[in-house]
Chains A and B, each alone.
Chain A
Amino acid sequence: MPSDPLLRVENVSKTFRTRGKKLRAVQNVSFTLEAGKTLGIVGESGSGKSTLGRMVLRLLESDKGKIVFDGVDLTELKKNKLRALRQDMQIIFQDPRASLNPTMTVRDAIEDAMAIHEIGTKASRRERVVELLERVGLPYEVQFAYPHELSGGQLQRVGIARALSLNPKLIVCDEPVSALDVSIQVQVIQLLRDLQKEFNLAYIFISHNLAVVEYLSDEVAVLYLGEVVEQAPADELFKKPTHPYTRVLLNSILKIPDSPENRQTMVSIQGEVPSPLNPPSGCAFHPRCSFATDACKTVKPERKKVSEHHIAACHLVQ
Chain B
Amino acid sequence: MSGPLLAIENLHVQFARSEDQVYAVNGVSFSIHENETLGIVGESGSGKSVMLMSSIGLLRENGKITAGTANFQGRDLLKLRPKQLEDIRGRDIGVIFQDPMTSLNPVMRIGDQIMEAMLTHQYAGRKEAFERTLHLLHEMGIPDPKARFKNYPHEFSGGMRQRIMIAIALACEPQLLIADEPTTALDVTVQMQILALLQELRRKRGMSVVMVTHDFGVATNFCDKIVVMYGGQIMEMADTDQFIRKTMHPYSLGLKRSIIEVGHRGKAIVPIPGAAKTMTQAPAGCPFAERCPYRTERCDNEVPELRKLNADHYIACHRAEEVASLAV
The answer, yes or no, to whether A312 is at the interface (CB within 8 Å) is no
The answer, yes or no, to whether A184 is at the interface (CB within 8 Å) is yes
B261 proximity list for chain A (CB < 8 A):
211, 253, 255-256
Interface residues of A in 212-238 (CB under 8 A from B): 212, 214-215, 234-235, 238
A269 touches B275 (CB 8 A): no
Give the residue name and chain of the A residue nearest to B215 (CB). Answer: A254
A266 touches B196 (CB 8 A): yes
A234 to B263, CA, bound (A): 11
B195 touches A190 (CB 8 A): no
B197 proximity list for chain A (CB < 8 A):
268
The answer, yes or no, to whether B217 is at the interface (CB within 8 Å) is yes
B190 proximity list for chain A (CB < 8 A):
44, 272
B262 touches A250 (CB 8 A): yes
A217 to B244, CA, bound (A): 29
Neighbour of B214 across the interface among A45, A181, A186, CB < 8 A? A181
The answer, yes or no, to whether B259 is at the interface (CB within 8 Å) is yes
A182 touches B269 (CB 8 A): no
B260 touches A183 (CB 8 A): no
The answer, yes or no, to whether A293 is at the interface (CB within 8 Å) is no
B159 touches A272 (CB 8 A): yes
The answer, yes or no, to whether A298 is at the interface (CB within 8 Å) is no
Binds B, one of A9-17, A91-99, A116-124, A257-265: A257-265
CB distance from A187 to the nearest CB of B (A): 5
B271 proximity list for chain A (CB < 8 A):
183, 186-187, 190
Neighbour of B192 across the interface among A45, A185, A186, A267, CB < 8 A? A267
Given A253-B188, A268-B196, A183:B265 Cβ within 8 A: no
A259 proximity list for chain B (CB < 8 A):
244-245
A263 touches B220 (CB 8 A): yes
B188 proximity list for chain A (CB < 8 A):
44, 208, 210, 249, 252-253
Neighbour of A266 across the interface among B44, B214, B222, CB < 8 A? B222
The answer, yes or no, to whether A151 is at the interface (CB within 8 Å) is yes
A182 to B275, CA, bound (A): 11
Interface residues of B in 206-264 (CB under 8 A from A): 214-218, 220-222, 240-241, 244-245, 254-256, 258-264
A271 to B240, CA, bound (A): 31
A254 touches B221 (CB 8 A): yes
Per DSSP, are chain B's interface residues mostly helix, strand or loop, or mixed?
helix
Interface residues of B in 58-78 (CB under 8 A from A): none
B263 proximity list for chain A (CB < 8 A):
214, 238, 255
CB distance from B139 to the nearest CB of A (A): 14
A254 touches B262 (CB 8 A): no
B187 touches A44 (CB 8 A): yes
CB distance from A241 to the nearest CB of B (A): 10
List 19 additional contacts besides A215-B264, A254-B191, A254-B217; criterion CB under 8 Å.
Answer: A183-B255, A185-B260, A186-B259, A186-B260, A189-B269, A210-B188, A211-B264, A214-B263, A215-B260, A234-B265, A250-B262, A252-B188, A252-B192, A254-B215, A263-B244, A266-B196, A269-B192, A272-B157, A272-B159
A-B contacts, 23 listed (Cβ < 8 Å): A44-B190, A153-B275, A181-B43, A184-B275, A185-B260, A187-B271, A210-B188, A211-B261, A211-B264, A238-B265, A250-B262, A252-B189, A254-B195, A254-B218, A255-B217, A255-B263, A259-B244, A264-B221, A266-B192, A268-B195, A269-B189, A269-B193, A272-B190
Residues of B within 8 A of A (CB): 43-44, 157-160, 187-193, 195-197, 199, 214-218, 220-222, 240-241, 244-245, 254-256, 258-265, 269, 271-272, 275-276
Residues of A within 8 A of B (CB): 44-45, 151, 153, 181-187, 189-190, 208, 210-212, 214-215, 234-235, 238, 248-250, 252-260, 263-264, 266-269, 272-273
